[in-house]
Amino acid sequence: MQRAIAVELRELGNRLLAIVFKTEEKFGGLDRGLVQWMSPLVEKYEGPNPKEGMSGALAKLREVSDEQLAEYCARKKAEALPSLFYPQLDAPYLKAAVADLREFQPDYSQRILDILANLQILSDIRSNVLYYQRLTFTPGVTPENHENAIYLAAEGSKEHSKRAKIIVDKIAALEQGYPASLAR
């Protein structure tokens, strides 16, 4: 069961990395520290989904100067669409396994529950972002409220990215603490 949980979390972590990359790129938050944080996580991924696009982009960004990285971020921010699509992320196997967590070490079980709690927070943030994005298209909204909705959707997107990073770190810590569960 731990192996199945590990596979689901590995895939979830990879999807979250893509969300972080796109969100930070859109809002100009893709800095040297983030590139260095993401790179080994993306390179480590060995699942069925392609990683070459993000891996290649991060490799190029690692090679540029800080000034070039700032220029890239400014350009991507200027080119960005007004909103991002955030897919609903879930961990159905993980949720189904909650009843059996008592069979595992308490620390492992606690970490799993912590990841699930953070996934719920991520889902709540996503719901708020979608609400404000939809509000920007509502007829009759005053210009002031329209600007507020745009601002709140953007801030929510940034919070979504921060929470996604937290979850990726928690998944990585679980993988490091329980490597036997990840044996291929």
Q: Quick: pLDDT tens for 148-184.
A: 999 999 999 999 999 999 999 999 999 998 876 554 4
Q: Global pTM?
A: 0.92
| Total tally of structural domains belonging to the chain | 1
Task: Name the residue among 42, 34, 37 with its Cα closest to residue 14.
Answer: 42
Buried b (16+ CB within 10 A) or exposed e, 96-134: ebeeebeebeeebbebbeebbebbeebeebbebbbebbe
Buried b (16+ CB within 10 A) or exposed e, 46-66: eeeeebeebeebbeebeeeee
pLDDT of residue 23: 94
pLDDT of residue 182: 52
Mean pLDDT for 93-116 is: 92
For residue range 127-158, list pLDDT tens digits in order.
Answer: 999 999 999 999 999 999 999 999 999 999 99
pLDDT of residue 142: 95
In a 10 Å sphere around its CB, with 0-12 CB exposed, 13-18 middle and 19+ buried, how is residue 78 labelled?
exposed
Residue 155 in tokens: 């801030």
pLDDT of residue 165: 98
Task: Name the residue among 126, 27, 117, 50 with its Cα closest to residue 86.
Answer: 126
* CA pair distance 91, 114, nearest whole angstrom: 13
Q: What domain range is 107 assigned to? A: 2-182
Task: Name the residue among 87, 96, 93, 25 with its Cα closest to residue 61.
Answer: 25
pLDDT of residue 3: 86
pLDDT of residue 183: 43
For residue range 35-62, list pLDDT tens digits in order.
Answer: 999 999 999 998 888 888 999 999 999 9
